[in-house]
Amino acid sequence: MSEYRGGAQARTALARRHRVRAWEPLPWIVALGFFFAFPKHLGFGTEVLVTILFALSLDLVLGYAGIVTLGHAAFFGVGAYTVGMLAKHGLWNEPLTSLALAGIVGAAVGLGSGLVLLRTRGLTLLMLTLCTMALLEEAGNLAHTWTGGFDGLDSLPIAPLLGRFEFSPLYPTTQYLYVLVVLFLCFVFVRTLVYSPFGQSLTGIRENILRMPAVGAPVPRRLAVCYTLSAGIAGIAGGIWAQANAYVNLGTLGLDRAATVLIMLALGGRGRLYGAFVGAIAYMVLSHFLSKIYPTAWQLGLGLLLVVIALFAHNGILGLGETVWRRLRVSRPLNMGAPQHRTPNPPL
Amino acid sequence: MLLGGIAAGMILFIVSVGLSVTMGLMGFVNLAHGGFAMLGGYAIVLAMKHWGLGFVTALAFGFLATAAASVVLERLLYARLYRATELDQVLFTIGLVFIMIASLTLRFGPENQPLTLPRALQGQIDLGFVQYRTYSLVLIVTGIAIVVALWLGFERTRLGAQIRAAVDNRRMAESLGINIARLFTITFALGSGMAALGGGLGAEFLGLDPQYALKYLVYFLIVVAVGGLGRVTGVFFAALLIGVLDFVLKKYLPQGGPMFIYAVTIVLLLWRPQGLFGGKAA
Amino acid sequence: MIKRIVALFAVLASLATWAEAQEVKVGVNLPYTGIGAEFAQLVDRGMELYLKLNADKVKPYTIKLIKRDVKNPGGADAKIAVQELLTQENVDILAGWIYSPNAIASAPIVTAGKKLAVIMNAGTAHITNMSPYYVRTSFSMWHAGYAMGEATSKILKAKTAVVGYTDFPPGKDSLAAFKRSFEAAGGKVIDEIPMGGAGAVPDFTPFFQRAKDKKPEVFFVFVPAGDHAAAVVKTYAALGMKEAGIKLIGPGDITQDTKLQAMGPAAVGLVTMHHYHADLDNPENKRFVAAWKEAYGAAAVPDFMAVGGYDGMALIVHVVQALKGKVDAEKALEAVKGWKFASPRGPISIDPVTRDIVMNEYLSEAVMKDGRVFQKVIGKIDAVKDACKEQKIGPCAPK
């Protein structure tokens, strides 16, 4: 991706990338504005925010480290069940601490599976992550005394946030703001991480896994750390989903969720931080409103969108935006740390 | 009683082999492969129902119709994405699956399309030493015929040699004057046609409804991964192994439920990451 | 000018409120896409058909169905759908629920939303305990399972049974119900075979082979209706279990009307216990089936899911009439409790204590008649209640 430059030069280059751009507060202002403008859409809004958080965690491994996984819902589900089982069995129901626990458990599972699975790449890794997740899902079904099996754990007694704010099932105002704050914190963490030297080495691994050991980067360890952190964030996403819905079931561990988030990220554009936002919003808003208008055949519209984006944009909606932007302002190329367009495509 | 497992494996093989070859050769993540199996299955069932075609004729029709449709799609759409990233290919093929599902639902409704087998293939057959389900036997024979035909095709014909050359080293094959674009089209049509056959032959066990395209995709991918990309015999043995293991474990340890297929896959893939018969780095 | 516009708006607004008083909004949540799309279509058609056939019973009110796709049994999408139906559409009544997990996930919202909620399919027994506004017009898994256990011993005179079930709550419910009454009546369940989840490949050969090796007198199978059901009958025939003297029995899910003719002669001899099949001999059903064929084609046939939607809509219309179009949830619950209806499945009512349906169960055998598979009623139990809640078993006990 980049040839070796002097240490000082590299530092300034990183610092320049890291600086907050003028438009970056915009998504957060919009998210807050949504809260006041559409009080009746907050349930959907909360789901979108949780999905963005989940997609963000996937972007870390997929967009930055180039680990193509179809099993990311494993960590989401583990986080959700951590919160769910603790609350349902009367062990612990304070939201913030149990959310932290969900993150820790997610990260632990990520570390354990990552150490074993990350030795492989491509299709093999894809199937290994998928099968691990499916195995967890089946285990969840078998252990129905604790997990509630297929029916899941319902009516979780989640304590009020900070001891004051109740989670109302019908008007999820607390949920929305809570998720928004957690998303913001996680985003700041991920943003700092990817612009750090650690994040740069991940990008290096993605672009050329053979060359990185040559420049002295400990590739397997970097990948394992990245996978663990990402699993932790996915665990938080799952945990907060369980809290917001006061409910958890096997769907949190399912392929549906894992595949959908992958599609969202591909749709938005990976390796760009905001791809998670754009992809999740585009996918969910479109399918939400299309399915309201035409409940039986809304997938047609969604399918067309995916096909068109795949055909005419490289790397999702943001990729398309960037191409257009570049054409408009040839003199100032924008580099958001996006992956180079590879040719020819190596087989999975 | 391994016959049941072998029969299940044969269906997996027939559908997956096309996926393995196209993914291995073209490096294209074609998640719409199950969609082609579904389209083929629909073509076969509807041709039997409305035009009164026989089972075998309908299978041939389904093969040809799906292969033809896939050529159109390949030339118009797929070809534009050969050099795109895997994720763009995933996005495209999943989009295509959504379109297929929605179109079939709109046209034929969400219900299952029942396949009525010819009477001769129903019921049981006496093999002398044991009674067995006739159709399972038919599947086994068909599967073996297909693997032999494909193997001969790959090993003994010029086209097969070209495909193998392109799987192993595409640039070298290209510089030797092999017309890769034509090769891709032919392989893709063949792969989709095989999927259609699998859709029709497997409908007895797997059913056929608009969700088919996604419902069984995981199983097809598992077989391809375990068998190795672009390996016909690899996919054959992988499908058999998974079919039989799954059958035996389900019969004697049903409490474990569907966990086995995943556990077996994990163990096999950790043992042989390139697939049981995959040679080159994938 | 501005005054005029304001006046115009005022007139329009008053017109709108007048229209609202006449119009009752029913929020329908069904999986219109995904693996349950076929079921959603059946329930949806059942509801629409009732409204079409009984337009005069609805007058002077109009019933507006607001349909939402819940996509999957994951709970989350269903929850959002129900939430938005309540908060954005301000529906007066909720209806639908194919999948039990969705009904379970929606329960807190239904309770908080304080609207009558009519369950038209989801069959896990204890769901109606989860919200005071849930009323069920479909069935509980215990209706058929419990009745079948007793009938197997007393009518079919069988002593040993193997149970094969799909490994998810309705399957486990069905197993528990059958086993309880069968063993109470002196029978013995000699093997219980979980046959994979609801999403697994419907290849039952290994499980059926295991059942065959155990040589029971009857093989009780519960699988979800749909392609699983068709596979059950095919596998049973193909493995020669009938010739081996094993009788295939189960709830009516395995002889779902929409799948029955495709099963063909393989289905002959199947004995099922259920509250509805299209061959029931009563005037309401004749009218229902004929209207169904007229509306959806000669090859179409209604089944127990369709009747869940049909009767559910009948209940909704009853409530709307009883409350004169102003559907208050508490009053609606009172109106529900006194409801009696001549359904295509025979006389039905709602149990005032549990808000679950009370109906007849029919023991039927599949026979060939006029070149098609026909379900012949060979036994009937009147006014069956959900035994799980009657006997307060496990989660069915009130909290």
- What pLDDT digit, counting tens, does each position of A72-104 carry? 999 999 999 999 999 888 888 888 889 999 999
Whether residues A40 and C32 touch (CB distance < 8 A) is answered with no
Contact assessment for residue C58 and residue C51, using Cβ atoms and an 8 Å cutoff: yes
C194 inside 8 A of chain A by CB: no
- Same domain, yes or no: C294 and C344: yes
- Same domain, yes or no: C10 and C21: yes
Q: What's the total number of domains in chain C?
A: 2
Q: Is the pLDDT of residue B259 over 50?
A: yes
- Same domain, yes or no: C367 and C267: yes
Residue A336 has what pLDDT? 47
Q: What is the CATH number of the domain that holds C374?
A: 3.40.50.2300
* C230/B114 Cα distance (integer angstroms): 9
Which positions ≥6 away from A329 have C-beta within 8 Å?
Answer: none
A127 inside 8 A of chain B by CB: yes
Contact assessment for residue B186 and residue B159, using Cβ atoms and an 8 Å cutoff: yes
- Same domain, yes or no: C34 and C173: no
Residue B68 has what pLDDT? 94
- Same domain, yes or no: C248 and C392: yes
- Same domain, yes or no: C172 and C23: no
Confidence of residue A339 (pLDDT cuts 50, 70, 90): very low
Whether residues A169 and C83 touch (CB distance < 8 A) is answered with yes
Structure token pair of residue A250 = 């096997």
A150 inside 8 A of chain C by CB: yes
Optimal mutation site among B107, B111, B222, interface C, most CBs of chain C within 10 A:
B111
Residue A205 has what pLDDT? 80
Structure token pair of residue B150 = 């494909």
Lowest mean pLDDT segment, chosen from A15-24, B182-191, B241-250: A15-24
Q: Which residue of chain A is at minimal alpha-carbon distance from C100?
A: A151
C169 inside 8 A of chain A by CB: yes
Confidence of residue B129 (pLDDT cuts 50, 70, 90): low
Q: Is residue C279 part of a domain?
A: no
Contact assessment for residue B257 and residue B246, using Cβ atoms and an 8 Å cutoff: no
Contact assessment for residue B27 and residue B84, using Cβ atoms and an 8 Å cutoff: no
Residue C5 has what pLDDT? 62
Closest chain C C-alpha to B124 CA, distance in angstroms: 6
- Same domain, yes or no: C6 and C110: yes
Whether residues C197 and A138 touch (CB distance < 8 A) is answered with yes
Closest chain B C-alpha to C322 CA, distance in angstroms: 36
- Same domain, yes or no: C199 and C299: no
Cα–Cα distance list, C13 to B81, C60, C62, C325 (Å):
54, 21, 19, 19
B169 inside 8 A of chain A by CB: no
**A261 vs B134, which has greater pLDDT?**
A261
Q: Is residue C68 part of a domain?
A: yes
Q: Model confidence over A180-202: pLDDT tens digits?
A: 999 999 999 999 898 888 888 88
Closest chain B C-alpha to A125 CA, distance in angstroms: 8
Contact assessment for residue A59 and residue A269, using Cβ atoms and an 8 Å cutoff: no
For B53-56, which contacts have Cβ atoms below 8 Å and span 24 or more sequence positions?
Answer: B54/B118, B55/B117, B55/B118, B55/B121
- Same domain, yes or no: C42 and C116: yes
Q: Domain limits at C28?
A: 2-139+284-355
Q: Which residue of chain B is at minimal alpha-carbon distance from C165?
A: B254
Whether residues B112 and C167 touch (CB distance < 8 A) is answered with no
Q: Model confidence over C174-197: pLDDT tens digits?
A: 999 999 999 999 999 999 998 877
Q: Model confidence over A9-42: pLDDT tens digits?
A: 766 776 777 777 888 888 899 999 999 888 888 8
Contact assessment for residue C39 and residue B112, using Cβ atoms and an 8 Å cutoff: no
Whether residues A43 and C71 touch (CB distance < 8 A) is answered with no
Residue B281 has what pLDDT? 39
C207 inside 8 A of chain B by CB: yes
Structure token pair of residue B34 = 């199950």
Q: Which residue of chain C is at minimal alpha-carbon distance from B104?
A: C33
H or E stretch at A327: helix A316-328
- Same domain, yes or no: C265 and C309: no
Q: What is the mean pLDDT of chain B?
A: 84
Whether residues C195 and B254 touch (CB distance < 8 A) is answered with yes
**pLDDT tens track, chain C, 399 positions:** 566 666 666 655 555 555 555 889 999 999 998 888 889 999 999 999 999 999 888 888 999 999 999 988 878 888 889 988 998 889 999 999 998 888 988 998 999 999 999 999 998 888 899 999 999 999 999 999 999 999 999 888 999 999 999 888 788 889 999 999 999 999 999 999 988 776 666 678 888 988 998 999 999 999 887 778 878 888 888 888 888 889 999 998 888 888 888 888 888 889 999 999 999 999 999 999 999 999 998 889 999 999 999 999 999 999 999 988 888 889 999 999 889 999 999 999 999 989 999 999 999 999 998 888 999 999 889 889 988 888 888 778 765
Q: Which residue of chain B is at minimal alpha-carbon distance from A113?
A: B266
Contact assessment for residue A257 and residue A238, using Cβ atoms and an 8 Å cutoff: no
Report the candidate in A54, A85, A81 with the shortest Cα–Cα distance to residue A253: A81
Most confident listed range (B12-16, B114-118, C198-202) = B12-16
H or E stretch at B181: helix B180-206
Closest chain B C-alpha to A344 CA, distance in angstroms: 5
* A87/A77 Cα distance (integer angstroms): 15
Whether residues A291 and C33 touch (CB distance < 8 A) is answered with yes
Measured between beta carbons, which residues in chain B are less than 8 angstroms from residue A141?
257
- Same domain, yes or no: C162 and C240: yes
Whether residues C231 and B116 touch (CB distance < 8 A) is answered with no
Q: What is the separation of C-alpha B31 from the centre of its chain, rounded to a whole number of angstroms?
A: 12
Confidence of residue A341 (pLDDT cuts 50, 70, 90): very low
Q: Is residue C203 part of a domain?
A: yes
Measured between beta carbons, which residues in chain B are less than 8 angstroms from residue A64?
none
- Same domain, yes or no: C92 and C175: no
Whether residues B123 and C238 touch (CB distance < 8 A) is answered with yes
Q: Is residue C392 part of a domain?
A: yes
Contact assessment for residue B136 and residue A310, using Cβ atoms and an 8 Å cutoff: no
Closest chain A C-alpha to C127 CA, distance in angstroms: 10
The structural domains of chain B, ordered by start, are: 3-110+130-271 (1.10.3470)
* Reported pTM: 0.85
Smallest Cβ–Cβ distance between B205 and the set C196, C199, C203 belongs to C203
